[in-house]
Amino acid sequence: METIRQIPALIAKEFLLEWRSKYALGGVLLYVLSTVFIVYNGFIRVAPPVWNVLFWIMTLFTSVNAVTKSFSAENGNRQLYYYTLADPSAVIFSKIIYNSLLLILLNVLTYFAFSLVAGDPVRDKGLFYLAILLGSIGMAVTFTFISAIANKARNSATLMAILGFPVIIPILVSLIKISANALGVITDTSVGQDIMTLLAIDAILLALAYILFPFLWRD
Amino acid sequence: MRKVKMSMGFLLMCQMLNAQETQSLMEGSGKIYVVLATVLAIYFGVILFLTIIERKLSNLERQIKD
Amino acid sequence: MIKHWWKILGALLVLYAFVAGLLIPLKPGILDVSPEMAKGGSKITLDINAYNAHLSQAKEIGIWLKMDSVHFVEGNNIRILSDNKLKTDFQLPYWKSKESAKEMTLILDNEIDGYSLLPGAVQLTYGAPDTSGISSNQWLPAINGQLHQKEGLTFPYRNILYETIRNLFYHVPLWFAMLIILFASMIYSILFLSKKNQKHDHAALALAQVGILYGILGLVTGAIWARWTWGDWWSFDVKQNMSAVAMLIYLAYFVLRSSFEDYEQEARISAVYNIFAFATLIPLLFVIPRLYDSLHPGNGGNPGFGGEDLDNTMRMVFYPAIIGFTLLGIWLANLAYRYLNLKERFLDRYDN
């Protein structure tokens, strides 16, 4: 009960921090826009299959950029302070929920910006938003957890990429397949099964993050 | 230097594998040489692992002696 | 000696896999025929190349072309050129469809080699009474006589695969053994987190090292096999790609281990990552390949090894090979584990 009560407070804290250091969010937004612009300049006309892959690659890099700092932004002393106040599972859940919300926002924004310059080939909007939702949650869970691991080691920025990218591939591959369905690139009757698969992967990773985070926590 | 030599050897091996003769060798005799290559790959992999442990152990022995 | 029983068992099983896997012969089969296309109603001479057959010793050789289960035509005037080569004449029935050719299966039977099939051996194209003057054969409703079964132990004959079907005993068990070993590594990581015993961490590390060795060997043997059956070292098959990604995940484990100064922290955090890595390995190797078409058997509509391909003779070698390679891997891991323990003990003593 205590844990659940702590989560909203911690999420509010995350928002407050984000708001205070506006440069971080601004940096990510700028990153999204400039990537979209570069991709647009490079391709101009984008065929739906390419659009699909490009979109997910852009969201992947945006997500890494946005989530990496979730542990490194706060210094050791401040983290120590949280440890004395809050439950570890409350901390990881609040970070994951906050990062999920942030990524959903950023990815929808990427979608709007990208479809503005490169056209919008999405036919099944509902399915595509569902893919963005599940993808954002999956990436938030994975990258939050990986950044918690990488933050403990030396040169954590490099480690973040080395640890994070291979681990995200199962999620990314199933996302690309689901959104290919939404774009009408492939028609697949088993799309419901794909969504269940993605949901299951998300759930397993979330459960693991919950179980394992206390071990990363103390030192 | 040793690594350079090893990778040169590997490149040379690839060159050999691309040759026409090797092609017909591998395709011939019911492709039994493909099986041979597979078995050899496993053999050398295991030997490589043993060599690495061997070298680490030797290093440790030397450190303990000093 | 008694306490090393599992090492002896592992060595013996691997030896058995090598010896039995390489020595049991392939079932005789048909390599190819020429011509591969014939007009309905025409008389053709078919050259047949067999594999592993004993045609010159055989007495009751029968050859048929089969259109479906009630349409056969028998080859006559069989001339044996060598153990694996023969010529035979066929008087083909008419084929009255102009649009589509009909694929016929070749059946070759003798009392030594048993019977063998080559599906789609000859394409029967349009040929009707008005186009050719010669009188034609009628279809037989069934083959006359009984087909023979090959006696003794053999592995199944498959076109394109040929002898490389034996790779099933070397390539596939490596992956099974890798999974078992990485699973054990994860268990030791969990044990380490709950008991804080350094030895558990050493065991997890040693097992992960062997796991990645097996994974890389699995990729290499797979590439060799693929080169001469699918035509390329790397076919960007979904299973190949996902296995490569799995290797990256575990290579990252070693990178992670090397980026700590404090041993306690290194052991704890890499144990956490190891558990996480195994959890992502399962969807990578078992779930994602199901979403895509794959050249591997058992995926994307391909028949799995397990039906006709994995017959009882193959199982007899395949399952022991899995156990053998697993035990061999545990032996290798055991060496690495003992090295790590020694290092920890002596370096600690010298540091203090």
Give the containing element (helix H, strand E) for C46. strand C43-51
The verdict on C190 and C235 lying in the same domain is yes
CB contact under 8 A, B42 and C221: yes
- Tens digits of residue pLDDT in C304-333: 554 555 678 888 899 999 999 999 999 999
End-of-domain residue from the set C125, C149, C184: C125
| Residue C351 pLDDT greater than 90, yes or no | no
Tens digits of per-residue pLDDT, B11-44?
A: 566 666 566 666 677 777 778 889 999 999 999 9
Same domain? For C190 and C260 the reply is yes
Asked if C91 and C161 touch (Cβ cutoff 8 Å), the reply is no
Query: Do C196 and C275 lie in a common domain?
Result: yes
Cβ–Cβ below 8 Å for C269 and A212: no
User: How far does the CA of residue C137 sit from the closest CA of chain B (Å)?
Assistant: 36
Alpha-carbon dihedral C6, C10, C15, C17, rounded to 10 degrees = 130
In the complex, which subunits touch B with 3 or more CB pairs below 8 angstroms?
Answer: C
By the 10 Å C-beta count (0-12 exposed, 13-18 middle, 19+ buried), C145 is classed as exposed
Nearest CA distance, A162 vs chain C (angstrom): 6
Among residues C125, C151, C173, the one where a domain terminates is C125
Which residue, among B18, B24, B35, would best test binding to C if mutated, counting the most C CBs under 10 Å from its CB?
Answer: B35
Q: Would you state the structure tokens that stand for residue C123, as one six-digit string?
A: 């394409």
- Whether the link from the prior residue into A48 is cis, omega within 30° of 0, is no
| Residue C311 shares a structural domain with residue C213 | yes
C78 inside domain? yes
Q: What's the CATH number where C116 sits?
A: 2.60.40.1930
Please state the rounded mean pLDDT for residues A37-45: 77
Position A198 pLDDT exceeds 70 = yes
Q: Domains in chain C: how many in total?
A: 2
**Residue after which a domain boundary falls, among C69, C102, C125:** C125
Q: What is the mean pLDDT of chain C?
A: 86
A189 touches chain C (CB under 8 A): no
CA distance C138 to A106: 73
- Taking a C-beta distance cutoff of 8 angstroms, is the pair C104, C124 a contact? yes
pLDDT at C163 over 50: yes
Contact C259/A155, CB-based, under 8 Å?
yes
Q: Is the pTM of this model over 0.80?
A: yes
Task: Name which residue leads in pLDDT, A135 or C293.
Answer: A135
Residues of C in contact with B24 (CB under 8 A): none
Q: Residue C108 CA to chain centroid, in angstroms?
A: 25
pLDDT at C134 over 60: no
* B55 at interface of C, judged by CB pairs closer than 8 A: no
C209 and C286 share one domain: yes
Q: pLDDT tens across A2-21, in order?
A: 777 777 777 777 777 777 77
Domain holding C69, by residue range, is 29-125
Confidence band of C17 (pLDDT split at 50, 70, 90): very high
Assess whether pLDDT exceeds 50 at residue C301: no
In a domain, C10, yes or no: no
Residues C222 and C332 in one domain: yes
Residue C157 lies in a domain: no
Contacts with A138 (C-beta within 8 Å, 6 or more apart), sequence order: A168, A171, A175, A198, A201, A202, A205
* H-type alpha helices, chain C: 5-23, 171-195, 198-229, 238-257, 263-282, 288-291, 312-351
- Comparing C15 with C136, which gets the higher pLDDT? C15
What does the pLDDT look like over C211-236, one tens digit per residue?
999 999 999 999 999 988 888 888 88
pLDDT single digits (tens) C96-115: 777 888 888 899 888 888 88
Question: Exposure of C185 by Cβ count < 10 A (0-12 exposed, 13-18 middle, 19+ buried)?
Answer: buried
Residues of C in contact with A76 (CB under 8 A): none
Q: Between A166, A216, A219, which is nearest C272 by CB?
A: A216
DSSP state of C258: T
Query: Is this complex's ipTM strictly greater than 0.85?
Result: yes
Nearest to C291 among A145, A194, A216 (CB): A194
In chain A, what are the domain boundaries? 2-217
Look at the block and give the residue holding tokens 């004449």: C89
In a domain, C19, yes or no: no
